[in-house]
Structure 1
């Protein structure tokens, strides 16, 4: 059952490996609770069991963020079991909600972002690819899964846009600038052909063996680039997404445009970046003003 749930999370929900691991741990915790209460058959799972399990977590001192994630996991899991016929009724929608604490994400300064985007010094395919990845992530703010899914045909060089398939199979068009365009041209003309093999897919970004690049490789690229930038916080591709959105707003972009570029279903999600900008402004004020 857990193996089937893991495949569902990875393939149908397109969740990050970190979230998948967290959800699997949450389900294991739920199973342990059920065994302790003598209700080991999944068909017996009901809203009373879920509430008792979450109450146990709350008494153990888990944070609101963790509890909110476990509620989300429980809903996803019971819906999955109901679809498979393992539960006659889905108790998940009966669960209440716990508002998670909103932590402001770490972002790069504009100077740190520029340092991370220094162009390659050679024509090595890996350097060309990694530079194109960094430029495109920063230019568009796309998710790592969206970047890995890009095909050559998704890039429109006449309009400097990419066609992105986002969450829920929702398609959007995202623009990019000249630095990203130059990096993509260098990769596609001088780098990518060196890694093409028989059976290579039409993927925009490839691994060294000629297959479609995977999210783990992209995360290693980002971590390696940022490791060489003095003072840069540790982050992965999603941190570059946060950075891009914050810099757009600091540059005067309106919230609705940023929402559309990022592919957020709700404007409330995008509004997080206004708080990031305000906190950066406050930090600068406290540091510079003599009476702060």
Structure 2
């Protein structure tokens, strides 16, 4: 069964061009599922039935997994069984007519403009690391790109003369995003004053480097943003996507077109972007409740 998973992941990478993180997610879900089957003495995917899948999903629920995680696992299994059925490696698809658990849509946590300013003012501009951190934070808030896209940027992806960056999102889809003047200055300062001091190998193409002169990791950035959130006394829960959510919400609150925000965020479906309109509506209700004398 492990070899079948490898074939499936290879298919997703080569034929579908899915991102590395997505491939890892599929593989992790399927390895855990196959492990569950083997514990229950099932060693052939042709032997699996609908009841086996329901038992696995129930096991995930018993272990306290979130509804979104269970739903994602089922999506991974659906894709896997569909691939095996098309290639004639199984006779039937046990995921047919199996319903996904309903996911409660939770509005993302966003920072106020004042909280964003406090966060972005945190880095020490007198240090090499501070100049780098300032550039990363300003760039995230200015463009709304994902953290994975931020750390994947190469120097050639940012055009400082024209004021835009090129990034590759889910499914390796390319998009061009304009840079605001503040972010542009911060990134220019980093390139001119800080990156060369972090650089160890002249052939290194990564834009943002760690203290070893190598590409900064997502985990490395996560530690950085948590440090500045704590220094800014921000009590809200901070995630790597917080500035992305704040970027989208603040744009819409100030009258930006939903389609334009969708394009900048790299959402394939506008329904994904529409969650931010729900957020702005809830904020408007709060403002109304506080400000109107007869609210």
Q: TM-score scaled to structure 2, two decimals? A: 0.83
167-176 or 91-100: bigger deviation: 91-100
Task: Name the counterpart of 1:98.
Answer: 101
Q: Does 1:118 align with 2:121?
A: yes
Measured on the aligned residues, the alpha-carbon RMSD in Å equals 3.4
Task: Name the counterpart of 1:222.
Answer: 225
Question: C-alpha displacement at 1:207, in angstroms?
Answer: 1.0
Matches within 5 A, 1:123-142: 123-142=126-145
Question: C-alpha displacement at 1:236, in angstroms?
Answer: 2.5
Task: Name the counterpart of 1:28.
Answer: 32
261-270 or 227-236: bigger deviation: 227-236
Q: TM-score scaled to structure 1, two decimals? A: 0.83
Count the aligned residue pairs: 287
Which residues of structure 2 form unaligned runs of 5+? none
Q: Aligned partners of 1:251 and 1:92: how far apart in 2?
A: 48
Q: Aligned partners of 2:105 and 2:181: how far apart in 1?
A: 34
Match of 1:160 among 148, 159, 163: 163
Task: Name the counterpart of 1:14.
Answer: 20
Contact 1:74 1:92 in 2 (8 A): no
Residues 280 and 30 of structure 1: is their aligned pair in 2 closer, same or farther, counting only changes over 3 Å? Answer: farther
209-218 or 222-231: bigger deviation: 222-231
Q: Deviations for 1:2-53, whole angstroms, at most 9, x for unmatched residues?
A: 9969x97999543389x84x973675366335533x3233453354532443
Task: Name the counterpart of 2:173.
Answer: 170
Contact 2:166 2:175 in 1 (8 A): yes
Q: Aligned partners of 2:81 and 2:135: how far apart in 1?
A: 41
SS at match of 2:20: coil
Question: C-alpha displacement at 1:59, in angstroms?
Answer: 8.4
Which residues of structure 1 form unaligned runs of 5+? none
Contact 1:135 1:180 in 2 (8 A): yes
Q: Aligned partners of 2:47 and 2:74: how far apart in 1?
A: 18
Contact 2:151 2:217 in 1 (8 A): yes
SS at match of 2:188: helix
133-142 or 224-233: bigger deviation: 224-233
